[in-house]
Chains A and B, each alone.
Chain A
Amino acid sequence: MRIKGFAIATLVPIVSILIAVAAAPPFAPTPASATPGFARQTGISCQACHTVFPELTPFGRKFKLNAYVFTNVKQIEATDEQSQRTLSLSDLPPVSVMLQASNTTLARGVPDAGVAGDLSKKNDTEFPQALSLFYTGKISDNLGAFLQLTWEPSSNAVGIDNSDLRFADHANFDSIGIPDFIYGLSLNNNPTSQDVWNSTPAWGFPFLTSSVGVPSVTAALIDGQLAQESVGLSAYLFLFNHLYVEFGGYRSAQTSFTNTTTGGPGPLDSTAPEVRIAGVAAPYWRLAWEQDWDNHALSFGTYGISTKVHQPGIGESGPTSRLTDVALDAQYQYITDAHIVSATATWIHEFRKFNNVGLADHAHDWLDTARLTGTYFFKRKIGGSVQLFSTTGSRDRTLYCSPDTFATAPSPACPGADTGTPSQLLGSANGKPTTQGAVFEIDYLPWLNTKIGLQYTAYDTFNGRRHNYDGFGRNASQNNLLYVYIWTAF
């Protein structure tokens, strides 16, 4: 997910494409939210909080908004002389383990890093794709956490995955007509990971994707580009049981980057292959309305972020670009024991303003991302989803790594820019970011905490074209992929 867009910048060209595709990010975690740790703490089965994991029910949303603190296990407690509780810790820790294993088959192979000109890399089996350890639950009376450590063989690294440390409490202003409401603070490492609806990027469908698919040339900042590489603090209110208001700020976090001079851990520098937030913090906002009636839950809202960034390949002292994402989202759920129907939609418009000389053709570009997903499950056992996705935007041959630009002045953010050799697969020959297609998925859950999925991603257009999109003869449909996985948490 994070190797899309600007993140491809420092990848070495051609022969390392497969490595680039599989392992470029220092750490590329996969999302997961259903955790048996919560079930251990609450004594409540998965279906209270999830339709089918990781999608949340209205109760699951409340549980998260209340900072994961609701508990039904014995507590170790302490109180001070004023009878204020100073400790309330679960007798047994709400820990759990998650395992994902998968097999991916690409419609057409991609270059083998070891053999020049070879196009044989087509199939990849990962056991595990990811192995995670969770602490998910109450820390004290109003404090809870969703903490995830993940090891991925594709990067052979253990790293912090989606994580959320959260404080929440209740208050009311009955005298001015505001009944009991929830207020809280979330410290997290992925914008929208703190969100409670599944129509925003961090917890949106597809919940699990192959780590070896070919990434498209670009993605909006809020659409995963800051995942696990930023740290955000935000404050939220949930009023009248309907209205959600959140405001916060994100900074770039140091991940696994080293200081190239000292060799030790160091501040983020221009070797970081990721887009970095410039300045104090990037403001993040979220506003949503939820309406529940009978077995139905409907929500709609807006979210976004706006910030100056340092692009990959351009040092901290270089000029910054401004990215502003304005997004709309909606979700509908129909939940009964027998039938579950859900639909989500999101649309992200990104304004891009470039001050960097040579990064892009234009000072102003735009990018639109839209996704529309429908899901049905029968008795939480068997079901399927269909998603239509679309990315469109202004034409920019330099920004989107058209091979034409390599003869003169390739963008420093493009793979191969350092050697002047354009990459196969990753660039856009016509300089358009258009990537459109559909994801089809069938799932079977023999148990509530185990999902077996068969997912097919079909591209109609990839990086601007249906045929020969990269200028090296690659067609969009050759990036189609069949992905089979098992995902279990216990």
Chain B
Amino acid sequence: MKATVMYAVAGGLMLVSALAEAQQKSTPPDLVTRVCSTCHGPRGISISPMFPNLAAQQPVYLETQLKAFRDRSRADPHAQAFMWGMAAQLTDATITEIAAYYAAQPPAPGKSAGRDETTAGKKIFEEGIPAQQVPPCQSCHGDKAAGNGPFPRLAGQQRSYLERQLAAFISNARANEIMHANAKDLTALQISQIAAFLSAQ
């Protein structure tokens, strides 16, 4: 009898906690409603290609980026103009909360792009360009481009955002040694093909 009550209580607690978690995933933190959603959308699908989609993004990656905006170590032009200010007063706890919320949202649907460019982009994504020392993107970002821990999700991302980030890695405006080495020999056409493929996923 005692055991039954204990199981019932434990089960009840688990249910409550699961419900609370579900609630947390579906109810945005106040800051998301009032601020982040203005550009990134209430569910992490951005309102303009100027801004990246955050839905289903890796939480570790989101936290790392918010902290990099806060300490100003990520310094590409849009990061400076928009995110340095946005992140200046964020606490670690708020960063975790925002990251968890956006990570839990369903991903943005892919946007169709030209067949030739997506085919070419897919080839680079899967095989890299050995002649230019470009490794396959999927080796870190996953075969579905869903990301993994510190490696961001790229599937369904805004095409122009991806293009701008690759350009920023190449120019070192966004300092990242690995991505600079990977991207530095890409041509503008190749960047456009990769971005087309990824945004279509």
Spell out A's residues near B (CB within 8 Å): 39, 42-45, 47-48, 58-59, 62-63, 66, 70-74, 170, 179-180, 292, 294-295, 335-337
Contact = CB atoms under 8 A, between A and B. Distances in A.
Contact of A292 (B47, B77, B86, B89): B47
Contacts of A44: 81-82, 84-86
Contacts of B47: 58, 292
A27 B182 CA distance: 62
Interface in B119-167: none
24 contacts: A42-B85, A43-B85, A44-B81, A44-B84, A44-B85, A45-B81, A45-B82, A47-B81, A58-B47, A59-B38, A59-B39, A62-B38, A66-B34, A72-B88, A72-B89, A73-B88, A74-B89, A170-B34, A292-B47, A292-B48, A295-B48, A335-B48, A336-B50, A337-B77
Contacts of A62: 38
Nearest to A172: B33
Interface residues of B, number: 19
Contact of B88 (A43, A66, A294): A43
A295 B35 contact: no
Contact of B82 (A48, A73, A179): A48
Contacts of A335: 48, 50
Nearest to B90: A72
Contacts, number: 54
B110 interface: no
Contacts of B49: 294-295
What 10 pairs between A and B have smallest CB-CB spacing?
A43-B85, A44-B85, A45-B81, A72-B88, A62-B38, A43-B88, A72-B89, A42-B85, A72-B85, A48-B82
Contacts of B82: 44-45, 48
Given A72-B89, A295-B50, A335-B50, A180 B80 contact: no
A68 to B, nearest CB: 12
A43 B38 contact: no
B34 A294 contact: no
A69 to B, nearest CB: 8
B113 to A, nearest CB: 14
Contacts of B52: none
Contacts of A180: 33, 42
B166 to A, nearest CB: 15
A70 B89 contact: no
Contacts of A74: 89
B143 to A, nearest CB: 29
Nearest to A44: B85
Contacts of A58: 38, 47-48
A148 to B, nearest CB: 23
Interface in B67-94: 77, 80-82, 84-86, 88-89
Contacts of B39: 59
B81 A179 contact: no
Contacts of B88: 43, 72-73
A70 B35 contact: yes
Interface string B22-55: 0000000000011100110010000111100000
A336 B164 CA distance: 12
Nearest to A66: B34
A74 B89 CA distance: 8
Nearest to A61: B38
A335 B39 CA distance: 13
Nearest to A336: B50
B28 to A, nearest CB: 8
B80 A45 contact: yes
